[in-house]
Amino acid sequence: MGGGIVWAALRCQREVRRSCCSAREAPLWCKCLRLFTTRQVGRAKQEAGPIAAERLCPEAIAEAVRDRSRKQLDVQHLHTAPVQHVGDLYSPPHLPSSTSTAMASLALRPALRQATARSVLPAFRFQQLAQRSPIVAQTSGFQTSTRRAILPPLPQKIKGTVNDAYEAPEPHPQHGSYHWTFDRIVSIGVLPLTVAPFAAGSLSPLLDSAFISLLIIHTYTGFQNVITDYLPKWRVPRWRKAFEYANMLAVLVVGWGYYEFETNDVGLTEAVRKIWRAPSEKREA
């Protein structure tokens, strides 16, 4: 583009010289064009080097100006081009061979600063955030911690082969619909007996006995459901029997404790009433 401007300027200068007798008669635009042409020709002569000034034709001037503008565009592209790889910092593809080492180092400084800022600033900001907020530090420590099992995994056993069909157990109403219906009846019966001590206190020993019996049955069936669900016989048969015996033993111990409490103390319903009314009675006293 610069060579074309110089060529057009030289052509215009020749036409001005032919038409105008002297510099005083030339218009203002001719003087500006002559000044611009003189500067462009001077720069082209300096870059031409050993070529003599009298042998310097307009084509040579245009070629020299093109080379200079191409070098400027290459350096500008190097400043603005993003760095995609670390190797681009040391071997830029657009750097001309005639550019000096000093110019290359100056051109590489902005790219190096950008790459360093992209890699260092995120880590520095996260470190500052972790120092200010203890939640971030706790989250980071939890994520980097190793996973440790509380208990070792149980032995994996397959009964038969993997190609055998699944054998479903035979349905039995005692362990199915009857069982869950009985659990619902017990849970519904415990609710009014729990509210009765708040309303009227200890009504009768029979009511206390019914309340104690429903509580024992409700607790026993609840623990038995947990044992059945989480301790299957085919996987942990010994532990299954041990927990079943422990559940039955707990029923006997709790039943004996309730009996002693009913015969030698105020009873269960009266004890519940006193516990819930203790703060109000203490304030009145």
Burial per residue of 169-199, b for 16 or more beta-carbon CB atoms within 10 angstroms, e otherwise: eeeeeeeeeeeeeebeebeebbeebeebbee
* Torsion sign across C-alpha atoms 128, 129, 134, 140: negative
- CA distance linking residue 83 with residue 161, whole number of Å: 60
Handedness of CA 228, 229, 231, 234 (dihedral sign): positive
Residue 130 structure tokens: 């972790």
* DSSP-derived secondary structure for 69-130: HHHHHHHHHHHHSPP-STHHHHS-TT--TTS-HHHHHHHHHHHHHHHHHHHHHHHHHHHHHH
> Nearest CA to 6 among 63, 51, 84, 91?
63
Please check if 175 is assigned to a binding site. no
Answer yes or no: is 166 a known binding residue.
no
| Tokens coding 233 | 């016989």
In the structure encoding, which two tokens stand for residue 255, read together?
Answer: 């039943």
205, 262 Cβ separation under 8 angstroms? yes
Are 190 and 218 spatial neighbours (Cβ–Cβ below 8 Å)?
Answer: yes
Separate counts of helices (H) and strands (E) for the chain = 10, 0
Annotated binding site: 218, 230
Q: Which residues are annotated as a binding site for a ubiquinone?
A: 230
List residues forming the annotated binding site for heme b: 218
